[in-house]
């Protein structure tokens, strides 16, 4: 920002030296028999001052455009961080917290259960089924947000990556029968890259 004003001062000073030089040259080069040298010098000075009136606003507009672009980039970055934290806050929302509670219970029994038992337990336990669907809807929201660059993927991966991958692996037998299995695969791929 300080460089902007220093550079502007240099431009104005050099331009003023140019005006003085052009006025001096015009005064010396004007034939006194055809025109008055001082009048011609004043004409040139005022014409050149008019040029300065074009140069200064153009210069300031260029800097304003650069500053506006920086502000827009900064605002987009802030919005992205806000979206990220908003999405992360949903992870601790009561409904998702309760959903994770049911999935944790299944995790404790995971090594003792076969793939068919996992599918049957989800199918026959409405609360567990609702919890699993709620979690995968949340993962879908994360996937879409990452794909459309609404959130900071690095922060999401650091904070939720390993947990989400673990949940997806835990429910893989159930996922194999779901129509949106490809979306979960895309989500896992986003978390692993």
Domain presence at residue 178 = yes
How far apart CA 139 and CA 135 sit, in angstroms, is 6
Whether residues 96 and 70 share a domain: the answer is no
Whether residues 16 and 67 share a domain: the answer is yes
Whether residues 16 and 45 share a domain: the answer is yes
**Based on the structure, what is the number of domains in the chain?**
2
What pLDDT shows up at residue 190?
A: 87
Residue 176 has pLDDT above 90, yes or no: no
Domain presence at residue 156 = yes
Q: Determine the structural domain holding residue 98 and report its residue range.
A: 92-192
How far apart CA 185 and CA 191 sit, in angstroms, is 10
Residue 33 has pLDDT above 90, yes or no: no
Domain presence at residue 81 = no
Domain presence at residue 84 = no
Calculate mean pLDDT across residues 174-179: 84
How far apart CA 21 and CA 53 sit, in angstroms, is 18
How far apart CA 43 and CA 26 sit, in angstroms, is 9
User: What pTM does this model have?
Assistant: 0.68
Both structure tokens of 50: 């008019």
State the alpha helices, DSSP H only, in the chain: 2-29, 37-91, 94-108, 115-124, 126-147, 153-170, 172-175, 181-192
What pLDDT shows up at residue 1?
A: 65
């Amino acid at each position: 920002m300080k460089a902007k004003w220093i550079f502007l001062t240099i431009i104005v000073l050099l331009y003023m030296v140019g005006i003085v030089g052009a006025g001096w040259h015009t005064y010396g080069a004007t034939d006194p028999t055809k025109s008055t040298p001082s009048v011609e010098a004043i004409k040139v000075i005022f014409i050149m001052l008019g040029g300065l009136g074009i140069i200064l606003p153009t210069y300031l507009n260029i800097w304003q455009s650069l500053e506006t672009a920086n502000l827009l980039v900064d605002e987009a970055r802030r919005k992205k961080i806000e979206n990220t934290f908003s999405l992360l806050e949903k992870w601790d929302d009561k409904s998702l917290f309760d959903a994770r509670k049911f999935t944790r219970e299944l995790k404790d029994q995971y090594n003792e259960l076969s793939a068919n038992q996992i599918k049957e337990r989800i199918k026959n336990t409405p609360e567990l089924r609702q919890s699993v669907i709620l979690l995968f809807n949340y993962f879908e929201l994360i996937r879409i947000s990452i794909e459309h660059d609404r959130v900071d993927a690095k922060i999401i991966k650091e904070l939720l990556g390993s947990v989400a991958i673990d949940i997806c692996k835990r429910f893989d037998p159930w996922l194999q029968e779901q129509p949106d299995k490809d979306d979960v695969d895309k989500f896992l791929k986003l978390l692993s890259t």
